Amino acid sequence: MKNTLSRLIGAACLLAGAASLPAAATPVTSLVGATQLAMPVKNIFGTGPFSFAPGITWSSNSGDAVFGSTDGYGFDANGDWDYRKTLVATNDSTSSMTFTFDITVSGFGGFLNWAPGSGNASIAVYDVNHVLIESVVLGFLTDGSLNSGEFHGFQESGTSIKYFTLTGAYIGGADFAVKAVPEPASMALSLLGLGLLGAMSRRKPKQG
């Protein structure tokens, strides 16, 4: 039993050490098991903040940004979106939009498009202290067809994502999804802890 307990403690320490490393998020083009979010139809301009979904708030640093729009939107050579895409968009070449989560999450992303030739379009995620976790400059080109684009977002093994931003190049997004649970590797630490407690509870008392 002592050897088994030692192995459990050693493994728990290794996993705890890994869990204490700085958060890292992986850029993804899909979020398996995520919750799909329905954007409210508002058709308004402004900085917000506006309620996007329970526990999620949208805001922008530009009064020209659009929220919950079904009026259609253009991305130059990357095509247009029509009323079937309820969207948010920067509506200029330099400003940003931010999704803020009441509770930190493990993944977030959406169906995105941007206007080539209008600067750089980027997405990023930050932790509760506004420290950058990961960012990506988008460079995909579509065939210019109606409602074209790509899903882009971030996924991590823990749950430290507090903010998701979209910046520049008339970037727009729709059909967002969120994942609030950690990946199996992170869950393993909790399960191992339960196993450790179980092993300790099964130890026989010393004979007097």
Sketch the domain layout of the chain as residue ranges. 24-183
Q: What percent of the chain has pLDDT over 90?
A: 75
Please give the C-alpha separations between residue 95 and each of 29, 141, 172, in angstroms, as whole numbers.
23, 21, 12
| Spatial contact of 104 and 159, defined as CB atoms under 8 Å apart | yes
Per-residue model confidence (pLDDT) at position 53:
96
pLDDT above 50 (res 9): no
Identify the pLDDT of residue 24: 87
Tokens representing residue 116 in the block: 């080539």
Nearest CA to 166 among 139, 146, 147, 138?
138
pLDDT value of residue 181: 83
pLDDT at 94 over 80: yes
Written in H, E and C, the secondary structure of the chain is CHHHHHHHHHHHHHHHHHHCCCCCCEEECCCCCCEECCCCCCCEECCCCEEEECCEEEEECCCCCEEEECCCEECHHHCEECCCCCEEECCCCCCEEEEEEEEEECEEEEEEECCCCCCCEEEEEECCCCCEEEEEEECCCCCCCCCCCEEEEEECCCCCEEEEEEECCCCEEEEEEEECCCCHHHHHHHHHHHHHHHHHHCCCCCCC
Residues 137-165 have pLDDT tens digits of: 999 999 999 999 999 999 999 999 999 99
Q: What pLDDT is recorded for position 16?
A: 39
Q: Does domain 24-183 sit in CATH 2.40.160?
A: no
Q: Whole-model pTM?
A: 0.79
118-129 tens-digit pLDDT: 999 999 999 999
Write out pLDDT tens, residues 27-57. 999 999 999 999 999 999 999 999 999 999 9
Confidence class for position 183, pLDDT limits 50, 70, 90: low
The reported pLDDT for the residue numbered 164 is: 98
Alpha-carbon gap, residue 105 to 33, rounded angstroms = 13
Residue 72, pLDDT > 90, answer yes
Whose CA is closest to 112, among 65, 166, 151, 153?
A: 151
The more confident residue out of 193 and 100 is 100
